[in-house]
């Protein structure tokens, strides 16, 4: 098993080098890049659809959408008005890596892009280990999951800067406790910035848009 | 990368050998074993709680509950009346493997056990590749996820024998289309047996209990 571990380390270190190159290129271009991570079905694609609908005219947004199979998410995002969208089909891998993202970015015209959204594979384990060159990871949990998810998947919460709690319109239909969820996430990572929202009803989305605007604008200063 | 692939093959083949040994032992003991797989938050633990509550007096049920971190699920199951329960904390790994399950089973008194439920890590990718010696994989999707999940995670649906659609009490609160979900799952695996249920409201659980009773009883014939 040590042989396996050393090869995994080698793979991760190659990944980190590629991620650093992507990060340097994005910084040069002044593109704010986020890596969206969550369980399957927490609302990553819906959030991107809404964000493009609301900000697509004032910000130039590029999207890289990863899935194990199908280009369904990329197609949904294009239908929602996304113009610079590339799918990545990992073909079995449980996460995106910097090589896949680098290749996808080569196929997007990045001139004057303000915001890059990377939609990772729906998985709370593997994507935590792979730097994609993003400015930060944004983890989404939804109120239809257990509120102890941050404790069960601590690496993901530790490595994220922002935590979104989605589907707050469904609060009360399960035992999900919002205060407990925030408390559990903060226990793992005291620096997390929270957004509570429903991509379906629209509640809480303005705060998210405002934060994106501000993050993009801070980068241009 | 070929070096990495060959080591992964070796790991999987070692796993398959251990899984075969577990399967042989369970067959000798006439224990019906299922491997519950799903996204985080689809309701695996809730289903086990309900099953123990309903069948715990007529069937002797053992449970192995896996998580990346915490023994929360095992504790919930014990609280629900589970007597033969062992947690597995994978400490980072995105799936259970046969070695972990074998070790956990050594710590359970398996005499006269009728049913073994293995609760895998909440993850739709990695657990598909690891045989744990179970009779079959049971995949759970919930109506708060996207109905295209079977297309995005085909390996999991291909390797499962039963598909549960949970949280049907929440139908209508999202765009989830039950017919589409079943169609997508059947497209990947035409032999899937379906159960529609809500572990919260109780709808559909009787059919599940009936099927478990029957599966256990078939094994004793």
Facing B170 at nearest CB: one of A67, A72, A173: A173
Q: In terms of Cα–Cα distance, which of B101, B53, B109 is closest to B77?
A: B53
- Structural domain of residue A110, as residue ranges? 2-220
**Among all residues of chain B, which has the CA nearest to that of A9?**
B4
The rounded Cα B142 to chain-centroid distance in angstroms is: 14
Q: Does B70 touch chain A (CB under 8 A)?
A: yes
Q: Does A71 touch chain B (CB under 8 A)?
A: no
Give the number of C-alpha atoms closer than 13 A to the C-alpha of residue A185, restricted to the C-beta side. Answer: 27
* pLDDT tens track for B155-194: 999 999 999 999 999 999 999 999 999 999 999 999 999 9
Over pLDDT 90: what percentage of chain B?
Answer: 93
**Among all residues of chain A, which has the CA nearest to that of B40?**
A39
Residues of A in contact with B167 (CB under 8 A): 144
Q: In A, residues 23-42, which contact B (CB 8 Å cutoff)?
A: 39-41
Mean pLDDT over residues A50-59, rounded? 98
Backbone φ, ψ for residue B27 (5° rounding): -65, -45
B/e letters for B114-140, b = 16+ CB within 10 Å, e = fewer, are bbbbbbbbbbbbbbbbbbbbbbebbbb
SS (H, E, C) B72-85: HHHHHHHHCCCCEE
Domain CATH number, residue B8: 3.40.50.300
Residue A2 pLDDT? 62
Residue B11 pLDDT? 82
Facing A154 at nearest CB: one of B69, B126, B151: B69
Residue A1 pLDDT? 47
CB A123 within 8 A of CB A90: no
Give me the helix-helix angle, B72-79 and B44-55, nearest 10°.
Answer: 20
Cα distance between residue A221 and residue A152, in whole Å: 39
Beta-ladder partners of B63: B85, B117
pTM across the whole model: 0.92
* pLDDT tens track for B92-130: 999 999 999 999 999 999 999 999 999 999 999 999 999
Q: Does B154 touch chain A (CB under 8 A)?
A: yes
Interchain CB distance below 8 Å, B11 and A4: yes
Question: Within a 10 A sphere around the Cβ of A161, how many other Cβ atoms?
Answer: 16
pLDDT at B132 over 50: yes
Q: Count how many domains chain B has.
A: 1
Mean pLDDT over residues B53-57, rounded? 98
pLDDT at B2 over 70: no
Q: Does A148 touch chain B (CB under 8 A)?
A: yes
* pLDDT tens track for A137-187: 999 999 999 999 999 999 999 999 999 999 999 999 999 999 999 999 999
Cα distance between residue B6 and residue A155, in whole Å: 28
């Amino acid at each position: 098993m040590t042989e396996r571990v050393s090869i995994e380390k080698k793979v991760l270190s190659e990944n980190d080098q590629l991620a650093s190159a992507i990060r340097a290129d994005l910084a040069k271009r002044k593109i704010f890049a986020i890596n969206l991570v969550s369980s399957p079905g927490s609302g990553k694609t819906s959030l991107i659809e809404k964000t493009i609908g609301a900000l697509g005219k004032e910000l130039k947004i590029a999207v890289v959408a990863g899935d194990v199979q199908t280009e369904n998410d990329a197609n949904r995002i294009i239908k929602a008005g996304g113009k610079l969208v590339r799918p990545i089909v990992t073909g079995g891998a449980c996460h995106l890596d910097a090589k896949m993202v680098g290749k996808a970015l080569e196929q997007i015209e990045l001139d004057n892009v303000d915001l890059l959204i990377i939609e990772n594979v729906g998985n709370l384990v593997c994507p935590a280990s792979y730097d994609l060159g993003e400015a930060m990871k944004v983890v989404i949990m939804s109120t239809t999951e257990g509120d102890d998810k941050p404790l069960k998947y601590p690496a993901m919460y530790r490595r994220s800067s922002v935590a979104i709690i989605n589907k707050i319109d469904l609060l009360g239909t399960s035992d999900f406790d919002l205060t407990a969820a925030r408390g559990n996430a903060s226990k793992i990572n005291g620096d997390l910035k929270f957004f509570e929202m429903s991509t379906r009803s629209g509640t809480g989305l303005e705060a998210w848009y405002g934060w994106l605007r501000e993050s993009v604008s801070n980068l241009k200063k």
